[in-house]
Structure 1
Amino acid sequence: MNLGIRAILYSARKWKKTLLVFFLLLAITTLVLSGLAIADAQEEQAEEVRGTTGASFTVERNLSTGGWSNGSGGSYSTQEFISEDMIKEIASVDGIAGYDASLIVHEDFFNEDGEALKTERYGFYSYGSYNSEYNAMFLSGRFELVEGSHITEDMENGLIISRDLADWNGLEIGDTLTGIYYPESNTPAVNMEIVGIFDIVADKDDAVNLYDNASYFDYSNYTFCSMEAAEGLLEGWGDENEGISEAYFYVSDAAQLDSVIEEVQKISSVNWNNFNITTNDEVYQNISSALSDTGTLITTLIVVITAVSMVLIILILSMSIRSRKRETGILLAVGIAKPAVILQYVLETLLIAVVAFPLAYLSSKQVAGTLGTLFGKVAENVIVTPEHFMLVAIVGGVLLVAAVLVSSISTMRLKPKQILSQME
């Protein structure tokens, strides 16, 4: 009798064992396919995080390598400031998607009636800005713009203030404030239009936020104005200690941050002994770490499920083959070669897989999304693809053949007479 027919007849006769293996393969394959779909969704999310979260680095004056001098306001560093040409050259490096710079101004603000703004604590800490969305305060997540727009290079006198400051003074988008750097010395008054309002997300008392160069100012009193407005406030002041002290550069692909910085440090026109570079990728690192941990967990679960399943299948097949010693001995005794007998066992198992694998593919399309939500994925983003099915079918088929071979070792190493002599 043809071994293929024998395999079909045996599977039908031993339908309980056949169903057991079928449902086991169906469950295993469904879980593995779902796991692969979740892993792919995880990778896509990681790619999206790299693109949307991004990262930045800050170039700032290295005061430790500069000298010190005295002026009307006390001692100040004579270290060189960051020039606009230097900013433009750094911004031209491949991988940098945007930039901003800080010209720090401690001006006073007055409303349209000439009244000083009400604040919780005295003193404003203002950033003269080219593109405020790339300022470290926003990139780090400490501030979040909630109304209006960010300052851009084409704005002459734009101003962004905190929600607290707006509420205390009844201010809104479109209102005009007058800034004066040093009223007692009759420095220029600059009118600025409020174009944006930000909320304070960070805790000022958090140790992470206590050691910047403005730690003694209240976050509510932070403002961001157009670079042109900041320069106008300082016009004629003549203080040699006023200039751009920090510049921020946004890298669209956070994974490339280190390589971009390496390229920046190769710019020969910049004396890097006079400047420090610090990375600002806390948000990306935190999210990336969480995604990596989840990815490792998913991979581990797939491996564990596959390993445990292989052990179960080998046990089931081993018990089945041992229970067929008489049949095996007779087949060998009538001249059927051992490879042919083993091939029959392989065909019996693969016949079950041929039905179980496609059904698992269909069921995993329904199950994968639900399982994906347990790992924080959107169900619609967890998709089982034909590529997943082909991978599982090929690898699964190979593993099943290996399981049959392992299960057959104890029986097939005996001769027909030995097998029959062990039967009762």
Structure 2
Amino acid sequence: MNLGIRAILYSARKWKKTLLVFCLLLAITTLVLSGLAIADAQEEQAEEVRGTTGASFTVERDISTGGWNGNYSTQEFMSEDMIQQIAAVDGIAGYDATLITLPRIFNDKGEELVHENYSFYNYGSYNSQYHELFLSGRFELVEGTHITDDMTNSIIISRELAEWNGLKVGDTLTGVYYPQNNTPEVDMEIVGIFDVVADKGDQVNMYDDASYYAYSSYVFCSMDAAEGLIKGWGEDGEGISEAYYYVTDAAQLENVIREVQSISSINWNNYKITANDEVYQNISSALSDTGTLITTLIIVITAVSMVLIILILTMSIRSRKRETGILLAVGIAKPAVILQYVLETLLIAVVAFPLAYLSSKQVAGTLGTLFGKAAENIIVTPEHFMLVAIVGGILLVAAVLVSSISTMRLKPKQILAQME
């Protein structure tokens, strides 16, 4: 009788054992397919995080390598050319720079604005959305627009400052660096209002002038306006002291920084670079931990399932010693007998695998929600099925071979003698 027919007849005759193996394969394959779909969704989320979270780095004067002139460091400031050279490096999506001034600000009636400090802590800005305070999430623009490099006399203020002084987007303010010294007056239009997301009682926590100012006293003005405020004053401590660069792919931050440091026209002994990727690192670490957990679960499920299948097949083959001995005694080779066992198992898999593919499409979404994934983002693909079918088939063949070792190492007479 053809071994294929024998395999089919045996599977039908031993339907309880066939059903047991079928249910086991169906459950295992469904879980593994679901796990692969969740793992892919996890990877897609990680890719999305890299693009949406991004990261930044700060280039600033290194005052430790410069001298001092009274209270001011003589370290060179950043030039416009230097800022633009760095901004041109591949991978940098945007930039901002800082020209710090401490102006007094007045409304259109000439009245000084109500605020918490003697003066304002003003950041001259090219593109305020890329300023470290906004990139870090401490500040969030809630009205109007950010300052861009094509604006000349624009200013962004805090919501608190706007509420205290009855200000809104579109109003005009006048900034004066030192009124008592008749420094130039600069008229600025309010183009945006930001909210302080960080703890109101948590100041900048830096050992510089900014630490003495409440967040509500921070303002951002266009770079042209900031330069207009100090025109004719010329203090040694005034100039562009730092710049912020936004990198779209946070995973490439280190590579971008290395390329920036390779710009030979910049004396890097006078400047230092600080990476700002805490948000990305925290999120990616959590995603990595979840990805590791999913992979571990897939491996554990597969390993435990293989042990169970081997045990079931071993018990089945041992219960068939008489049949095996007779087949060997009538001249059927051991490889042919083993092949029959393989066919019996694969016949069950041929039915179980496609059904598992269909069931996993329903189960994967439910399981994915346990890992914080949206069900619609968990998709079991044909590629997942092909991978599981091929690897699963190989593992099943290996399981049959392992299960047959104890019986097939005996000779036909020994097998039949054990059955007497």
Q: Which residue pairs with 1:147 in the alignment?
A: 143
1:302 Cα shift?
Answer: 0.6
Bigger shift: residues 54-63 or 159-168: 159-168
Paired amino acid for 1:117: L
Q: Does 1:9 align with 2:9?
A: yes
Alpha-carbon displacement from aligned partner over 1:90-139 (angstroms, at most 9, x marks no partner):
11111111110000011112122222222244432111000011111111
Q: Distance in 1 between matches of 2:241 and 2:98?
A: 6
What CA distance in whole angstroms lies between the structure 1 residues aligned with 2:219 and 2:285? 33
Aligned to 2:53: 53
Give the whole-Å Cα distance in 2 for the aligned partners of 1:143 and 1:11. 69
AA matched with 2:333: A
Partner of 1:343: 339
Output the amino acid matched with 1:247.
A
Which whole-Å CA distance do the structure 1 matches of 2:173 and 2:142 have between them? Answer: 19
Code of the residue aligned with 1:211 in structure 2: it is M
**CA offset at residue 200 of structure 1?**
1.5
CA distance in 2, matches of 1:299, 1:415: 43
Identical-residue share of aligned pairs (%): 82
Structure 1 residue 182 and structure 2 residue 193: aligned?
Answer: no
- The corresponding residue for 2:415 is 419
2-structure distance, mates of 1:185, 1:256? 48
Question: 1:327: Cα distance to partner?
Answer: 1.1
Range with bigger deviation, 112-121 or 396-405: 112-121
Is 1:296 the counterpart of 2:292? The answer is yes
* Aligned AA (1:67): G
Offset, 1:172: 1.8
Q: Which aligned pairs between 1:214-293 and structure 2 lie closer than 5 A?
A: 214-293=210-289
CA RMSD of aligned residues (A): 1.4
Q: In the alignment, what sits opposite 1:37?
A: 37
Structure 2 residue matching 1:100: 3-state secondary structure:
strand
One-letter amino acid matched to 1:3: L
**1:81 and 2:77 aligned:** yes
TM-superposed CA distance for 1:205, in Å, is 5.1
Aligned-pair CA distance for 1:4:
0.6
Task: Say if 2:338 is the partner of 1:318.
Answer: no
Which residue in 2 is equivalent to 1:355?
351
> Hey, what does 2:205 align to over in structure 1?
210
* Conserved 8 A contact 1:103-1:127: yes
Letter of the aligned partner of 1:197 in structure 2?
Answer: I
Using the alignment, how far apart are the partners of 1:411 and 1:156 within structure 2? Answer: 88
Name the SS of the counterpart of 2:9 in structure 1: helix
Q: 1:132 to 1:284 in 2, by over 3 A?
A: same
Counterpart residue type for residue 37 of structure 2 = A
More deviation in 141-150 or 394-403?
A: 141-150
Provide structure 1 residue ranges, at least 5 long, that are not aligned to the other structure: none
Q: State the Cα deviation string for residues 19-69 of structure 1 (Å, max 9, x = none).
A: 111111111111111111111111111111111111111110111111111
Q: Does 1:27 align with 2:23?
A: no
The count of residues paired between Structure 1 and Structure 2 equals 419
Scaled by the length of structure 2, the TM-score of the pair is 0.97
* More moved, 399-408 vs 121-130: 121-130
User: Match of 1:215, SS?
Assistant: helix
Alignment of 1:354-373 (within 5 A): 354-373=350-369
Query: What per-residue deviation string (whole Å, max 9, x for no partner) do you get for residues 194-227 of structure 1?
Result: 11121212236559x4126312211121111110
3-state SS of the aligned residue for 2:404?
helix
- 3-state SS in 2 of match to 1:116: coil
Cα-to-partner distance string for 1:392-421 (whole Å, 9 max, x where unaligned): 000000000000000111111111111111
Range with greater deviation from structure 2 (156-165 or 279-288): 156-165
- Secondary structure at 1:239 match in 2: coil
Separation in 2 of the partners of 1:61 and 1:134? 19
Distance 2:168 2:200 in 1: 24
How many angstroms apart in 1 are the aligned matches of 2:212 and 2:279?
24
Q: Which runs of 5+ in 2 are unaligned?
A: none
Deviates more, 1:120-129 or 1:356-365: 120-129
Does structure 2 conserve the Cα–Cα contact (< 8 Å) formed by 1:204 and 1:210?
A: no
